[in-house]
Structures are given as structure tokens and as C-alpha cells.
Amino acid sequence: MRIEWTEPALTDMESIREYIGKDSEYYAARLIGRIIGAVERLEQFPKMGRQVPEAEEEEDDIRELLFQNYRIMYRAEPHRILVLTIIHAARDISLKEPKPWDVV
């Protein structure tokens, strides 16, 4: 099982790093490292995240890890984990178009 990051997920991570980095580069780097560590655990346990409630019922392979104040959404495929997006939990994903799982 390998992990692949989509361009939107990488952009999200960079935005998080920049935002936190305004106050502390140290804590920004630490948070990004911990997010990457959480995602890397999916290699061994790809179904450990819950199904994304906003995803269509037929999209049962769209899952998310809840990490601190962030939702790390991914698609669990037979031979890879595709990280789709990382969003703050306070954001309303139902208003976002296109949906993260529709992009790829």
C-alpha cells in the first residue's frame, strides 16, 4: 500500500504551514510533521478513518482522519491511499464545490 498526495492536499498543507508559521515556524513544522505521521499510519490501517458523512453513499471508499482541528480526507483504494484534502473541521464541506472526492 502506498500513499499519494493530490495537488489540492499538498496546497492545503502548505496553506496550513503558512498560516501557523505566521506565529511560529517551529509549531507549523511540528504540526505538518504530525499530519504526515497520521497519514503514514494509513499504510498499515487504511480503513481506520471513518467514512465521510457528506460523501455520497456509493462513495464508501472516501474516508477521513480527524486530527486535532483538521479533517484529512482520503480515498482508500486496493493498492494506494489517495490523500484528497486537509480542511479545518470548522469549515462546511457541504458548501464546497467541487467536492474533494470529485476532483480526482
Note down the domain range covering 63.
Answer: 2-103
Identify the pLDDT of residue 53: 84
Total number of domains constituting the chain = 1
Identify the pLDDT of residue 102: 76
- What is the domain-level CATH number for residue 60? 3.30.2310.20
Q: Which residues contact 37 (CB under 8 A, 6 or more apart)?
A: none
Q: With a threshold of 0.85, does the pTM exceed it?
A: yes
Closest-CA residue to 45 (of 104, 103, 1): 1
Cell numbers 471508499: residue: 61
Identify the pLDDT of residue 96: 72
pLDDT in tens, the chain (104 residues): 899 999 999 999 999 999 999 999 999 999 999 999 999 999 999 989 999 888 876 566 899 999 999 999 999 998 999 999 999 988 877 777 777 777 76
R_g of the chain computed on alpha carbons: 13
Q: Which long-range contacts (CB under 8 A, 24 or more apart) does 47-54 make?
A: 47/76, 49/74, 49/76, 52/93, 52/101, 54/93, 54/94, 54/99
